[in-house]
Chains A and B, each alone.
Chain A
Amino acid sequence: MWDHPELQRLDELFPRYWDGVLTPAEREEFEQILRDHETARQALLQMSMQAVTPEPRTSPPLRLPEPTPKRWSRRRLLGYASGGLALGLAGLLGWRHWRSEKFGTIRLDSVRGIVQVNRTHQVAAGQVVSPGSVLHAVGPGSSADLHLADGSTVSLTGDSYLGIESQRLLLHQGNASAQIQPQNSIQPIRLATPSVSVSCPEGASFTLNSASRVTEVGVRQGQASVSDSSGNFVDRVRAGEVLAMRSSGQYVKEMLTSPPTAYQLDLSQPLPQGWEVGYLETTPEGPAICPEFWFDPYHAAVLSQIRSNNLWTRGMVTLYPDSLIRVRYRVNRPGHGQLVIVVRTESRHRTDSGVIEVNDAFVHSRPGVWQWLEAHPRDMLDVKEAPKFGPPWVGFRLIFNTYELDLGLRIADFRVSRDGGV
Chain B
Amino acid sequence: MTLSIETAVQVLLRRRLRLVAVAAAIVRDVDAADDIFQQVVLAALQQHEELRDEEHLLAWAVRVTRHRAVDWARRRQVQTLPSDLLDLLQSTWGDPAGVGISDQVEVLNRCISKLGDPARELLRLKYHEGLAMPELVERLQRSADALYQALSRIHRSLRECIERESQSSAEAAAEFDSTRIGRVGPS
B48 interface residue per 8 A CB criterion: yes
Contact B81 A295 (CB under 8 A): no
Q: Considering the chains assembled together, what is the distance between the CA atoms of A90 and B43 in angstroms?
A: 16
Q: A55-B128, A56-B109, A89-B41 are in contact. Are A41 and B92 (CB under 8 A)?
A: yes
| Min distance, Cβ A363 to any Cβ of chain B, angstroms | 28
A1 interface residue per 8 A CB criterion: yes
Q: Considering the chains assembled together, what is the distance between the CA atoms of A120 and B158 in angstroms?
A: 44
Q: Which residues of B contact A34 (CB under 8 A)?
A: 81, 85, 88-89
Question: Which residue of chain A has the shortest Cβ distance to B20 in the bound complex?
Answer: A52
Q: Which of B5-46 contact A (CB under 8 A)?
A: 5-6, 9-10, 13, 16-18, 20-22, 24-25, 28, 30-31, 33-35, 37-39, 41-43, 45-46
Q: Which residues of A contact B101 (CB under 8 A)?
A: 42, 45-46
Question: Which residue of chain B has the shortest Cβ distance to A87 in the bound complex?
Answer: B13
A342 interface residue per 8 A CB criterion: no
How many of chain B's residues have a CB under 8 angstroms from any CB in A?
77
B51 interface residue per 8 A CB criterion: no
Q: Which of A146-176 contact B (CB under 8 A)?
A: 161, 172-173
Q: Which residues of B contact A212 (CB under 8 A)?
A: 35, 38-39
| Min distance, Cβ A276 to any Cβ of chain B, angstroms | 11
Q: Which residues of B contact A49 (CB under 8 A)?
A: 17-18, 21, 102-103, 108
A14 interface residue per 8 A CB criterion: yes
B56 interface residue per 8 A CB criterion: no
A8 interface residue per 8 A CB criterion: yes
A127 interface residue per 8 A CB criterion: no
Contact B9 A93 (CB under 8 A): yes
Q: Considering the chains assembled together, what is the distance between the CA atoms of A134 and B42 in angstroms?
A: 12
Q: Which of A44-59 contact B (CB under 8 A)?
A: 44-59
B160 interface residue per 8 A CB criterion: yes
B176 interface residue per 8 A CB criterion: no
Contact A119 B133 (CB under 8 A): no
Main secondary structure of the interface of A (DSSP, over half): helix
Partner of B132, one of A19, A58, A73: A19
Contact B151 A52 (CB under 8 A): no
Question: Which residue of chain A has the shortest Cβ distance to B102 in the bound complex?
Answer: A46
Q: A14-B152, A45-B22 are in contact. Are A56 and B113 (CB under 8 A)?
A: yes
Q: Which residues of A contact B47 (CB under 8 A)?
A: 295
Q: Which residues of B contact A7 (CB under 8 A)?
A: 159
Q: Which of A282-318 contact B (CB under 8 A)?
A: 292, 295, 297
| Min distance, Cβ B75 to any Cβ of chain A, angstroms | 5
Q: Which residues of B contact A118 (CB under 8 A)?
A: 5
A35 interface residue per 8 A CB criterion: yes
Which A residues are closer than 8 A to B by beta carbons? Answer: 1-2, 7-8, 11-12, 14-21, 31, 34-35, 38-39, 41-59, 73-75, 78-79, 82, 85-86, 89-90, 92-93, 118-120, 132, 134, 161, 172-173, 212, 279, 292, 295, 297
Which B residues are closer than 8 A to A by beta carbons? Answer: 5-6, 9-10, 13, 16-18, 20-22, 24-25, 28, 30-31, 33-35, 37-39, 41-43, 45-49, 71, 75, 78-79, 81-82, 84-85, 88-89, 92-93, 98-103, 105, 108-109, 112-113, 115, 120, 123-124, 126-130, 132-133, 148-149, 151-156, 158-160, 162-163
What would 17 A/B residue contacts be, using CB atoms closer than 8 Å?
A: A2-B159, A8-B156, A19-B132, A21-B133, A42-B98, A44-B25, A49-B103, A56-B109, A56-B120, A57-B113, A74-B31, A75-B128, A75-B129, A78-B31, A86-B13, A93-B9, A172-B42
